[in-house]
Amino acid sequence: MSTEERMTINERYKYLRLMHGRYSRATRSERGALLDEIELVTGLHRKSIIRLMDGPVVRQPRREQRGRVYSPEVDDALRIISESFNYLCRERLTPNLVWMAKLLAEHHELQTTPELLAQLSQISPATVGRILKRIHQDQPRLARRPPYTTNPLARDIPMIRIPWQQQEPGHLEVDLVHHCGVSASGEFVHTLQLIDVATGWSERVAVLGRSYLVLADAFRYILTRIPFPILELHIDNGSEFLNYHILRFWKQAIPGVRISRSRPYRKNDNRYVEQKNDTLVRAWLGYERLDSVAHTLALNHLYDKMWRYYNLLQPVMHLIDKTYPDPHDAATHVKRRFDQARTPFDRLCATEVLSEQRRHELETLRWQTNPRQLRQEIYDAIEHLSAIPRAVPGQSEDVRLTLLCPESLQQGSPSSG
């Protein structure tokens, strides 16, 4: 009998109680046939069935509790590793326990033994979930906080969705997150975010306002840092991206780059970056207003730390299969299957886009990073950001003080005046 067809203990006892009456009234020859049937259905040994049928068919309590499979050291290690990963779900956490344990041991955050590493390599996601539910975390998790007009340039840009099956790095979704608070008046900080569909690699830069000067500077900074070539940029229909200056910038910066856009009112066309807007920006910053040079500088300092944390240390899951519902069956729904969780850096390493030098640099950077310390630095940077006062009403802020690439000023800006 296969594992999928085997009865549970409760189902087995229920079946035996139903058969007990027939067995007690049966003749000797009939009992033999019943025993054959019960043995076939339950998978129990014949002698065990006879002993059960000769007495009350009641499940006896266990005389002694089953011993622990995993040592208390596994509990301690899971607590530290889960905290270092900022409390990932068990499916993303379990495949990455061993290498993170070794990394934490390098930084003296965790003591490992061959026995502990062996147990971490064989533990199942279900067991990880039970252990993490039972133990108490040292610190609480950060709480989640909670009209298109026709543009003549849009006619020349195709409306598509980057396929979820995309395996080649370099196809990025782009979006701008507003930090305006309850009022969108005046200048305020925005987060420019790019997400690579194939690997989950993320880039974030804070800009003050939406002028060409600050956006071009942010894009130049991303080009100096992103470790693989950009092949496609998928934008929404906002005028901050759909204008002559930004389109000319990309044609000059990366000749041959493909520009595509979402359909109007279809935010799901930019689904990857929209999801990360929530998990990597709003979940950390909320909806408070940020509107000063000091806010912009502090936010970029935070994003530099998050760049290391989320690209080198945080595993992500990638959709690998979709099963669509039967149109004739209202009860069915789309079934999605995901691959094993890996960090964006590990996914990049599985391709051929990284040079050996760049790969070595990023690998060295990861092993030099203490994940628990980096996570705490991220929380400290958020506390510092929240303590910065807002801009003084009526007093202008000099956006040139926020630029990350000095050549942005030398090349000028068509809209800086």
DSSP states of 272-309 as a string?
HHHHHIIIIIIHHHTT-B--SHHHHHHHHHHHHHHHHI
Checking if the pLDDT of 137 tops 70, the result is no
CA angle 14, 16, 21 (to 5 degrees): 110
pLDDT single digits (tens) 290-331: 999 999 999 999 999 999 999 999 999 998 888 887 776 666
| Domain boundary assignment for the chain | 9-53, 72-134, 160-411
pLDDT at site 412: 57
The whole-angstrom separation of Cα 201 and Cα 199 is: 5
Arithmetic mean of pLDDT, 42-49: 90
State what percent of residues in the chain have pLDDT above 70.
Answer: 91
Burial label for 173, CB within 10 Å (0-12, 13-18, 19+), is buried
Arithmetic mean of pLDDT, 85-113: 93
Arithmetic mean of pLDDT, 5-20: 85
Structure tokens at 221: 């900074």
Arithmetic mean of pLDDT, 106-125: 93
Structure tokens at 215: 């956006």
Residues sharing a CB contact under 8 Å with residue 302, sequence separation 6 or more, in sequence order: 284, 378, 381, 382, 385
Number of H helices and E strands in the chain, helices first, is 17, 7
The single-letter DSSP state of residue 327 is T
Of 89, 148, 94, 85, nearest to 121 by C-alpha is 94
Confidence of residue 142 (pLDDT cuts 50, 70, 90): low
Tokens 């971490």 correspond to 120
Are the beta carbons of 234 and 172 closer than 8 angstroms?
A: yes
Instruction: Please report which residue ranges of 203-335 form alpha helices under DSSP H.
Output: 212-225, 244-253, 271-276, 283-285, 293-308
Checking if the pLDDT of 285 tops 70, the result is yes
Structure tokens at 290: 């940020």
pLDDT single digits (tens) 336-368: 899 999 999 999 999 989 999 999 999 999 999
**Whats the size of the chain, residue-wise?**
417
Of 214, 256, 216, 207, nearest to 233 by C-alpha is 256
pLDDT at site 66: 66
- Indicate left, alpha or beta for 43 from its phi (over 0: left) and psi (-120 to 50: alpha): left
Element (H, E) at 258: strand 258-261
The whole-angstrom separation of Cα 412 and Cα 300 is: 22
**In 166-254, where do the E strands start and end?**
171-179, 189-196, 202-208, 232-235
Judged by average pLDDT, the poorest of 21-35, 144-158, 264-278, 343-357 is 144-158
Arithmetic mean of pLDDT, 25-42: 90
pLDDT at site 164: 86
Checking if the pLDDT of 197 tops 90, the result is yes
Are the beta carbons of 104 and 84 closer than 8 angstroms?
A: yes
Structure tokens at 227: 């470790």
Of 18, 89, 403, 2, nearest to 217 by C-alpha is 403
Query: pTM of the prediction?
Result: 0.75
pLDDT at site 410: 64
Checking if the pLDDT of 167 tops 80, the result is yes
Confidence of residue 416 (pLDDT cuts 50, 70, 90): very low
Confidence of residue 7 (pLDDT cuts 50, 70, 90): confident
Checking if the pLDDT of 111 tops 80, the result is yes
pLDDT at site 2: 47
Tell which wins on pLDDT, 307 or 149.
Answer: 307
CA distances from 194 to 143, 183, 413 (A): 24, 25, 22
Checking if the pLDDT of 218 tops 70, the result is yes
Q: CATH homologous superfamily of domain 160-411? A: Ribonuclease H-like superfamily/Ribonuclease H (3.30.420.10)
The whole-angstrom separation of Cα 145 and Cα 139 is: 18
Arithmetic mean of pLDDT, 5-16: 83
Structure tokens at 222: 């991303």
